[in-house]
Amino acid sequence: MLLALLWVLHWLPLSVQAFIGRGFGALLHAVAGARRHIALRNVELCFPEMTANERALLVRTHFQWLGRSILERGVLWYASPARLKRLIHVEGDVGLAERSERPVMWLVPHFMALDVAGAATQLFQQRRVNSIYQQQRDAVMDDAMRRGRLRFNNGDVFPRSDSAKPLLRAIRRGEAFFNLPDMDFGERDSAFVPFFGVPASTLLAPSRMARAMNMVVQPIVAETLPGGAGYRVRFLDAWTAFPSDDALADTAAMNRWIEAEIRRNPAQYLWVHKRFKTRPAGEPPMY
C-alpha cells in the first residue's frame, strides 16, 4: 500500500507533494514519540547553546523535511530521468569521477536528500557508482529500494552484512564508491571521534580504504529546496589532504567538515538516528 501511495503521489507537482510531505512529517512528529525523543536528545547534545524552545522548533521542522523525504522517494523511484534532471540542480565538478585516473570515493553525509545525491551521481555523469546499504527487514520494501536506486543501470548496491569483496573489485575496476560515513555501527573498525564535541563511534574505513586503494575523495552534500523548487546537490572540491597516514586525524577532520555542513542546514540532517548509541567503556547510555 505504501509503494502504491508513493507511485500515485509521484505524478503530482512537486509543490503539492511537498505540502503533503510536510503534513505527513507533522503527523510523524506527533505520533513517533521514540524518534522525536532521539532527535531532541541529539540536538541537545550537538547544540547545547540553544534554548529548549529553539531545539523543539528545530526538531519539528526536521520532521517536516523527514516527511517530505519519505514521500518523495516516489519521485526518485518512478519519475522519468528527464523530470529528475529538471528537478535536481547540480553544482560543482560532477564529472570528476569520469576524468580521474584514480577511483573516486564520494563522501555523502546523511542529509534528507541523500538519495537525491545517489540519483545525481547516476544521471549527471557516466562512471559506474557503487554503494553499501542497510537491508530492510521487509523483503518487498527492500526489493523496491534496490530497484529504485538501480533503475538507471549505472551502478550497484551491496548489503552491509555481505562481504566487501565485490565492492573492492568494482573499485579496482575504476568504479566510484558512494560512501555514507556518519552513522554509528558499533565499535568494530571505529574510533570515538568528537562530533559536535561529543565522542561518537565513527568508522575509520573512509580514510583507510581511500589510502589503501589510492582513491580521490570528493565530498557531496544534498539539500531539499522549499516547495516545488527541487533539490540541490553540491559536488565539492576533492580533498587534497585526505587521506593521510593518520586515519584518526582524517576521521576527526571529516567529522568537523560534516559539523560545518550541518550548521549550514541543521533541520535537514538525520537527527532521528542514534548517532551516540555506542559509548566508551564506563559511560552511561545517551538515550
From first to last of its 287 residues, the chain has per-residue pLDDT tens of 889 999 999 999 999 999 999 999 999 999 999 999 999 999 999 999 999 999 999 999 999 999 999 999 999 999 999 999 999 999 999 999 999 999 999 999 999 999 999 999 999 999 999 998 878 888 888 888 889 999 999 989 888 877 788 899 999 999 999 999 999 999 988 999 999 999 999 999 999 999 999 999 999 999 999 999 999 999 999 999 999 999 999 999 999 999 999 999 999 999 999 999 999 999 999 99
pLDDT at res. 267: 98
In a domain? residue 274: no
CB contact set of 231 (below 8 Å; sequence gap of 6+): 87, 88, 89, 113, 116, 222, 223, 224, 225
Amino acid code (one letter) for 217: V
- List the grid coordinates of 199: 565522542
Task: Considering only CA atoms, give the Rg of the chain.
Answer: 19
Quote the number of domains for the chain. 1
* Alpha helices, DSSP H, located in the chain: 2-9, 14-31, 33-46, 52-71, 73-78, 81-87, 96-99, 114-123, 139-150, 165-172, 205-212, 247-264
In a domain? residue 175: yes
Q: State phi, psi for 195 to the nearest 5 degrees.
A: -135, 105
In a domain? residue 22: yes
Q: Which range marks the domain in which residue 245 is found?
A: 2-268
Core vs surface per residue 171-205: b (16+ CB within 10 A) or e: beeebbbbbbbbbbeeeeebebbebbeeebbbbbb
pLDDT at res. 116: 97
Q: pTM of the entire structure? A: 0.94
Query: Distance between the two ends of the chain, CA-based, in angstroms?
Result: 33
In a domain? residue 17: yes
pLDDT at res. 33: 96
Q: Is 142 exposed, middle or buried (0-12, 13-18, 19+ CB in 10 A)?
A: middle
In a domain? residue 277: no
Cell 522519468 locates to 80
In a domain? residue 185: yes
